[in-house]
Amino acid sequence: MDLGKAASTAGITHVVWIPDSSLGRWAAALERTPGLRLLRVAREGEAWALALGLYATGARPLVVMQCTGLYESGDSLRNAVLDYGAPLVGLIGVRNATTGASDSAASLAEPFLRAFHLPYRWLEPGDDFSALTAMVDEANRLRRAEIFLYPEGPA
Amino acid sequence: MSRGISIEALVDAVEAARPRPSVVVPTMSAVHPYVARGLSPWDFAYLPSSMGQAVPFALGVALGRPDLPVCALVGDGSLVMNLGCLSTATEAAARNLRIVVVRNGVYQVTGGQAVVGGEAVDLVAVARGCGLPHAWRLEDGADPVVALRALFAADGCALLDVPVTPVDDAPPARSPGPAAARFERWRRRLVGDPPEGDA
Ligand SMILES: Cc1ncc(C[n+]2csc(CCOP(=O)(O)OP(=O)(O)O)c2C)c(N)n1
Ligand SMILES: [Mg+2]
């Protein structure tokens, strides 16, 4: 299942993103998914704030970015999720998670999320995002913020 | 920057000019005078805020509630920290988003240190250069209520750069109550389920 279909099946209304070379392959699929709006941001910090504003109006945004952008956006993520308690969900591509190559971008992903008190789960690598639907559904049901990690190559 | 209006005069002018209902999101040094004056239940004092994120936050609200004008009052230092948000706002094409820049030339809430770039940075030119359909400056001596009415009446996303007089004794930035509870109360109003007891 492509990323757009998996997200919209889970009730996602907006994908707020900056692509990388792995997740970027889904740009066209996201743009043509009915009921889903793709919102590009200039900088990852914007994505959490934009998602916070959308959430305030009843929309269900999914934030999509590479782990490099996650680190860049830490203050905005902290503000949205920890200060305001918004149950935002994010799909984060983890560079070099599948290669085992030494890369601080990969090795910091889990410690970073633990430091932010954010629950996370790993998706399988590859092109089938069907597992994402149930993960987003569950986060919605529990009304909790959660991060879904997507293992990437040397992106 | 020595000229400009007081932050209180700016807040009064926004209140006089805004259509109703509408959403106002004050941040930084605009929060204290806004709270002192009394926020409408449609408004959200974005404090604590992530510096530079008031425009994206208001943009999200504007996209989710296209029927409501949504106006962010943003600090000049915060906007300079995140100029790319103006291109994000242009691309998202939220016709109901309004941005008022509190252009005091300083980081007022942290004690009045100079903002990087100072008066050399022309935020109206930056906004136009990022493709925003409308961007103006409140000229010296012009009536802020007239300018803000024009801002709200604009056809599409619009920014007004307002020279504001910095002060020596600004109160510290303090959130007007528990952040998550305030946010949830406001969210329920935006989704049409206002908490009991709210007007
Ligand atoms: C990322 C980040 N860097 C620095 C700070 C410290 N800080 C808090 S408010 C502020 C200045 C805000 O200035 P401006 O946006 O111009 O608003 P004003 O107080 O002048 O209205 C700074 C530097 C912070 N909160 N976050
Ligand atoms: Mg300032």
> Could you tell me what percent of chain B has a pLDDT over 70?
98
pLDDT at B199: 61
Contact A137, A10 (CB under 8 A): yes
**CA dist., res. B18 & res. B136, Å (int):** 17
Inter-chain touch A57–B50, beta carbons under 8 Å: no
Residue B25 maps to a domain = yes
Residue B195 maps to a domain = no
Residue B99 maps to a domain = yes
Closest CA to A122 of A148, A146, A93: A148
- CA B94, B152, B180: angle at the middle one, nearest 5? 65
Per residue in B24-40, pLDDT (tens digit) is 999 999 999 999 999 99
Substitution target from B28, B43, B50 for chain A, most A beta carbons within 10 A: B50
ipTM (interface pTM)? 0.97
**CA dist., res. A55 & res. A61, Å (int):** 7
Report the CATH number at residue B59.
3.40.50.970
Residues of chain A where predicted confidence (pLDDT) is lower than 50: none
Domain range for B155: 7-190
Contact A64, A23 (CB under 8 A): yes
> Could you tell me what percent of chain B has a pLDDT over 90?
90
A126 touches chain B (CB under 8 A): no
How many domains is chain B partitioned into structurally? 1
Per-residue pLDDT band at B198 (split at 50, 70, 90): confident
**CA dist., res. B84 & res. B55, Å (int):** 10
Helix (H, G, I), strand (E, B) or coil at A14: strand
Ligand 1 contacts CB of residue A75 (under 6 A):
yes
pLDDT at A99: 96
Residue B159 maps to a domain = yes
Does the predicted TM-score (pTM) go above 0.90? yes
Per residue in B102-159, pLDDT (tens digit) is 999 999 999 999 999 999 999 999 999 999 999 999 999 999 999 999 999 999 999 9
